[in-house]
Structure 1
């Protein structure tokens, strides 16, 4: 999947400035796609040039003017075309897993510290995702939200991000417990 497709999907929920989109990518879209603000702005410029999105300049007082991006008809068509293509199989590419795989020749204490850092990062991200979930639900039950919401995509992808981080936490705890048990028996 290209960054372009993630941006088109984000804009399908309504217009956005580059700044707001970068914040959204950091909070919501990051559960399935990452991009630096610089990558995002470069891609927005390319997409505008290609006619997939258009920008409206909003004059601001005491702040730089901002551009609000929205989908063009061509962008909507590109997004529709993307949604009918079969997705590529997901592949895990995780440097920490390579470190754990090489533990017998590596520095087990350093690897355990890296797993602990991953655990802390996943716990933090899970808390952020759960706050986002609470904000989306606005006091409604999940069942009520899912039956009434205009845009289901953000919630459904957030649910996947929550599950992903819960599994990361479970795996990190498993690794750390296993290493602690091994150290205790030596």
Structure 2
């Protein structure tokens, strides 16, 4: 009669328990994924900050005291800017909404970057708690991405849906890899 295999040792005997992407050892694969995610996050956050600065400078929202509204129209040779206050009043709510969305995206990316750094530190120090925190945060992100997919199915065409679905599949696999490695670290003596 064969003995049943305990649940906690199943992950170390499967192919996922030994390899990441079927070619790298699990530890090395987690390092590759961790550093790639961290560098991608730094790049994305830099792009968002650049975009925010560009929009802020273009809308003159950074310097409220010396905006174009304070220019005396009588001093100009051609008073062609008389439509500017009406334009600004209609664009102001839109720009403040865009600014708020960009600010929230930057804050979320900064939090994601801190979680990525904690995960990489956990990988180096072999601390499963840091890796499990990353898994929890990534799972919450995955739920938000899935909610975005549900929204996209109602509004957008097939290529965007396929790209979003691919993102969900890849993120799910990476979460599984990190979770498997964290379990292995917990089972080590």
Is the structural similarity TM-score above 0.5?
Answer: no
Q: Which has the higher helix share?
A: 2
Q: Please tell me whether Structure 1 or Structure 2 has the larger radius of gyration of its CA atoms.
A: 2
State the structure with bigger RCO (CA 8 A, min sep 6), 1 or 2. Answer: 2
Q: Which has the higher strand share?
A: 1
* TM-score tier after normalising by the smaller chain length: 0.3 to 0.5
TM-score (norm 2): 0.37
